[in-house]
Amino acid sequence: MCAAVAKPLLYTYFRSSCTWRVRIALALKGIAYDPAPVNLVKDGGQQLSPEFQAVNPMKQVPALKIDGVTLSQSLAIIEYLEETRPNPRILPQDPKKRAQVRMISEHIASGIQPLQNLSVLQQMGDKKVDWAQRSISSGFEALERILQETAGRYCVGDEVTMADLCLVPQVYNADRYQVDLTPYPTIRRINKALLELEAFQTSHPSRQPDTPADLKA
Protein backbone atom coordinates (compact mmCIF):
# COMPACT_ATOMS: atom_id res chain seq x y z
CA MET A 1 0.00 0.00 0.00
CA CYS A 2 3.06 2.26 0.03
CA ALA A 3 3.18 4.91 -2.64
CA ALA A 4 6.29 4.55 -4.75
CA VAL A 5 8.85 7.22 -3.90
CA ALA A 6 9.07 9.54 -6.87
CA LYS A 7 12.40 9.79 -8.61
CA PRO A 8 14.01 13.24 -8.64
CA LEU A 9 12.87 15.34 -11.60
CA LEU A 10 15.58 17.31 -13.43
CA TYR A 11 14.60 20.29 -15.56
CA THR A 12 17.28 20.11 -18.20
CA TYR A 13 18.43 21.30 -21.62
CA PHE A 14 20.89 19.14 -23.48
CA ARG A 15 23.28 21.99 -24.22
CA SER A 16 23.09 23.87 -20.90
CA SER A 17 26.55 23.67 -19.36
CA CYS A 18 25.17 24.43 -15.87
CA THR A 19 22.73 21.53 -16.18
CA TRP A 20 25.46 19.24 -17.45
CA ARG A 21 27.34 19.83 -14.16
CA VAL A 22 24.34 18.45 -12.27
CA ARG A 23 23.85 15.54 -14.69
CA ILE A 24 27.44 14.46 -14.00
CA ALA A 25 26.88 14.63 -10.23
CA LEU A 26 23.71 12.52 -10.52
CA ALA A 27 25.55 9.98 -12.70
CA LEU A 28 28.60 9.78 -10.41
CA LYS A 29 26.41 9.21 -7.39
CA GLY A 30 24.17 6.73 -9.19
CA ILE A 31 20.99 8.74 -8.56
CA ALA A 32 18.23 7.76 -11.01
CA TYR A 33 16.09 10.69 -12.16
CA ASP A 34 13.45 11.66 -14.68
CA PRO A 35 14.44 14.37 -17.19
CA ALA A 36 12.03 17.22 -17.91
CA PRO A 37 13.44 18.97 -21.00
CA VAL A 38 13.08 22.76 -21.24
CA ASN A 39 14.06 24.12 -24.64
CA LEU A 40 15.94 27.39 -24.09
CA VAL A 41 15.61 28.56 -27.70
CA LYS A 42 12.29 27.16 -28.99
CA ASP A 43 9.14 29.31 -28.62
CA GLY A 44 11.42 32.24 -27.68
CA GLY A 45 12.69 30.20 -24.72
CA GLN A 46 10.42 27.83 -22.78
CA GLN A 47 12.16 28.85 -19.53
CA LEU A 48 10.31 32.18 -19.81
CA SER A 49 6.85 30.59 -19.71
CA PRO A 50 4.63 31.24 -16.67
CA GLU A 51 4.49 27.46 -16.10
CA PHE A 52 8.26 27.20 -15.79
CA GLN A 53 8.60 30.38 -13.77
CA ALA A 54 6.32 28.74 -11.21
CA VAL A 55 8.95 25.98 -10.98
CA ASN A 56 11.96 28.32 -11.00
CA PRO A 57 11.52 32.10 -10.77
CA MET A 58 15.14 32.43 -11.94
CA LYS A 59 13.96 31.29 -15.41
CA GLN A 60 16.94 28.99 -15.80
CA VAL A 61 17.84 25.36 -15.91
CA PRO A 62 18.89 23.34 -14.04
CA ALA A 63 16.17 22.93 -11.43
CA LEU A 64 15.82 19.72 -9.47
CA LYS A 65 12.71 18.47 -7.67
CA ILE A 66 14.04 16.21 -4.94
CA ASP A 67 13.06 15.21 -1.40
CA GLY A 68 9.94 17.38 -1.59
CA VAL A 69 11.69 20.62 -2.55
CA THR A 70 12.69 22.32 -5.79
CA LEU A 71 16.29 23.49 -5.90
CA SER A 72 18.02 25.63 -8.49
CA GLN A 73 21.57 26.93 -9.13
CA SER A 74 23.94 24.16 -10.11
CA LEU A 75 26.53 24.35 -7.34
CA ALA A 76 23.86 24.65 -4.64
CA ILE A 77 22.21 21.52 -6.06
CA ILE A 78 25.53 19.64 -6.16
CA GLU A 79 26.36 20.63 -2.57
CA TYR A 80 22.92 19.39 -1.51
CA LEU A 81 23.46 16.05 -3.26
CA GLU A 82 26.86 15.79 -1.56
CA GLU A 83 25.37 16.44 1.88
CA THR A 84 22.45 14.05 1.48
CA ARG A 85 24.08 11.36 -0.75
CA PRO A 86 27.75 11.51 0.27
CA ASN A 87 28.95 8.38 -1.56
CA PRO A 88 31.01 8.58 -3.65
CA ARG A 89 32.13 11.95 -2.36
CA ILE A 90 32.88 14.80 -4.77
CA LEU A 91 34.34 17.16 -2.17
CA PRO A 92 37.64 16.19 -0.50
CA GLN A 93 37.78 15.69 3.26
CA ASP A 94 40.52 18.25 3.91
CA PRO A 95 39.07 21.77 4.35
CA LYS A 96 41.88 23.42 2.36
CA LYS A 97 41.37 21.07 -0.55
CA ARG A 98 37.60 21.60 -0.30
CA ALA A 99 38.30 25.32 -0.54
CA GLN A 100 40.40 24.78 -3.67
CA VAL A 101 37.59 22.76 -5.25
CA ARG A 102 35.03 25.44 -4.45
CA MET A 103 37.39 28.20 -5.63
CA ILE A 104 37.84 26.57 -9.05
CA SER A 105 34.13 25.80 -9.29
CA GLU A 106 33.19 29.38 -8.45
CA HIS A 107 35.81 30.78 -10.82
CA ILE A 108 34.06 28.92 -13.64
CA ALA A 109 30.48 29.36 -12.40
CA SER A 110 30.74 33.07 -11.54
CA GLY A 111 33.82 34.25 -13.42
CA ILE A 112 33.50 32.62 -16.84
CA GLN A 113 30.13 31.02 -17.60
CA PRO A 114 27.87 34.02 -16.84
CA LEU A 115 29.77 36.17 -19.35
CA GLN A 116 29.17 33.75 -22.21
CA ASN A 117 25.65 32.79 -21.18
CA LEU A 118 22.96 32.74 -23.87
CA SER A 119 21.08 35.73 -22.44
CA VAL A 120 24.23 37.89 -22.46
CA LEU A 121 25.36 36.84 -25.91
CA GLN A 122 21.92 37.61 -27.35
CA GLN A 123 22.57 41.25 -26.51
CA MET A 124 26.00 41.36 -28.15
CA GLY A 125 24.89 41.24 -31.80
CA ASP A 126 27.90 41.06 -34.17
CA LYS A 127 30.34 40.94 -31.29
CA LYS A 128 28.87 37.71 -29.91
CA VAL A 129 31.64 35.27 -30.83
CA ASP A 130 34.44 37.72 -30.07
CA TRP A 131 32.95 38.47 -26.63
CA ALA A 132 32.52 34.76 -25.81
CA GLN A 133 36.07 33.99 -26.90
CA ARG A 134 37.60 36.79 -24.85
CA SER A 135 35.58 35.93 -21.74
CA ILE A 136 36.54 32.26 -21.88
CA SER A 137 40.21 32.86 -22.78
CA SER A 138 40.68 35.35 -19.99
CA GLY A 139 39.14 32.94 -17.49
CA PHE A 140 41.12 29.96 -18.81
CA GLU A 141 44.39 31.88 -18.52
CA ALA A 142 43.85 32.22 -14.76
CA LEU A 143 42.47 28.70 -14.47
CA GLU A 144 45.53 27.17 -16.15
CA ARG A 145 47.80 28.85 -13.60
CA ILE A 146 45.66 27.68 -10.69
CA LEU A 147 45.44 24.10 -11.94
CA GLN A 148 49.22 23.96 -12.25
CA GLU A 149 49.22 24.29 -8.45
CA THR A 150 46.24 22.11 -7.52
CA ALA A 151 45.95 19.36 -10.13
CA GLY A 152 46.84 15.72 -9.98
CA ARG A 153 45.08 13.50 -12.46
CA TYR A 154 42.07 15.81 -12.11
CA CYS A 155 41.50 19.45 -11.07
CA VAL A 156 42.38 18.94 -7.39
CA GLY A 157 44.47 15.86 -6.75
CA ASP A 158 43.53 12.47 -8.10
CA GLU A 159 39.84 12.27 -7.13
CA VAL A 160 36.96 13.55 -9.24
CA THR A 161 35.49 16.62 -7.54
CA MET A 162 32.89 19.32 -8.11
CA ALA A 163 35.60 21.35 -9.88
CA ASP A 164 35.81 18.68 -12.58
CA LEU A 165 32.04 18.83 -13.00
CA CYS A 166 32.46 22.52 -13.87
CA LEU A 167 35.56 22.13 -16.03
CA VAL A 168 34.31 19.72 -18.69
CA PRO A 169 31.12 21.64 -19.61
CA GLN A 170 33.14 24.87 -19.77
CA VAL A 171 35.67 23.32 -22.16
CA TYR A 172 32.71 22.11 -24.26
CA ASN A 173 31.52 25.74 -24.45
CA ALA A 174 35.02 26.87 -25.38
CA ASP A 175 34.98 24.41 -28.26
CA ARG A 176 31.60 25.71 -29.41
CA TYR A 177 33.05 29.20 -29.65
CA GLN A 178 36.27 27.93 -31.23
CA VAL A 179 38.52 29.15 -28.46
CA ASP A 180 42.16 28.19 -29.13
CA LEU A 181 43.04 25.81 -26.28
CA THR A 182 46.73 25.48 -27.18
CA PRO A 183 47.86 27.78 -24.34
CA TYR A 184 46.11 25.62 -21.71
CA PRO A 185 47.83 22.20 -21.62
CA THR A 186 46.69 21.38 -18.09
CA ILE A 187 43.06 22.15 -18.87
CA ARG A 188 43.26 20.00 -22.00
CA ARG A 189 44.90 17.09 -20.21
CA ILE A 190 42.38 17.01 -17.37
CA ASN A 191 39.42 17.43 -19.71
CA LYS A 192 40.60 14.46 -21.77
CA ALA A 193 41.05 12.27 -18.70
CA LEU A 194 37.57 13.14 -17.42
CA LEU A 195 35.86 12.44 -20.74
CA GLU A 196 37.06 8.84 -20.43
CA LEU A 197 34.81 8.35 -17.40
CA GLU A 198 31.35 6.90 -17.91
CA ALA A 199 29.55 9.56 -15.83
CA PHE A 200 30.89 12.29 -18.11
CA GLN A 201 29.91 10.33 -21.22
CA THR A 202 26.31 9.41 -20.33
CA SER A 203 25.62 13.00 -19.22
CA HIS A 204 27.13 14.51 -22.40
CA PRO A 205 25.01 16.98 -24.45
CA SER A 206 25.21 14.63 -27.44
CA ARG A 207 23.43 11.83 -25.53
CA GLN A 208 20.39 13.43 -23.94
CA PRO A 209 16.71 12.65 -24.61
CA ASP A 210 16.24 16.19 -25.96
CA THR A 211 19.40 16.19 -28.14
CA PRO A 212 18.33 16.96 -31.74
CA ALA A 213 18.88 14.01 -34.10
CA ASP A 214 21.65 15.76 -36.08
CA LEU A 215 23.68 16.36 -32.91
CA LYS A 216 23.27 12.89 -31.39
CA ALA A 217 26.43 10.91 -30.77
Binding residues for its own copies (CB under 8 A): 57-60, 67, 69, 71-77, 79-80, 83-84, 95-96, 98-99, 102-103, 105-107, 109-111, 113-115, 120, 141-142, 145-146
What is the β-pairing status of strands 9-12 and 34-37?
A: parallel
Question: CB-wise, 34 or 94, nearer to its own copies?
Answer: 94
Q: How far is the CB of 205 from its own copies (least distance, A)?
A: 20
Q: How far is the CB of 159 from its own copies (least distance, A)?
A: 18
The CA distance from 88 to 161, in Å, is 10
Q: How far is the CB of 96 from its own copies (least distance, A)?
A: 5
Question: CB-wise, 134 or 207, nearer to its own copies?
Answer: 134
Q: How far is the CB of 157 from its own copies (least distance, A)?
A: 15
Residue 203: name the closest of 8, 2, 10, 22 by CA: 22
Listed in sequence order, the residues at least 6 apart from 19 whose beta carbon sits closer than 8 Å to its beta carbon are: 10, 11, 12, 13, 61, 62, 74
Dihedral angle at the C-alpha atoms of 17, 38, 124, 137, nearest 10 degrees? 0
Question: CB-wise, 59 or 207, nearer to its own copies?
Answer: 59
Question: CB-wise, 24 or 63, nearer to its own copies?
Answer: 63
| Residue 111 contacts residue 171 (beta carbons within 8 Å) | no
The CA distance from 166 to 101, in Å, is 10
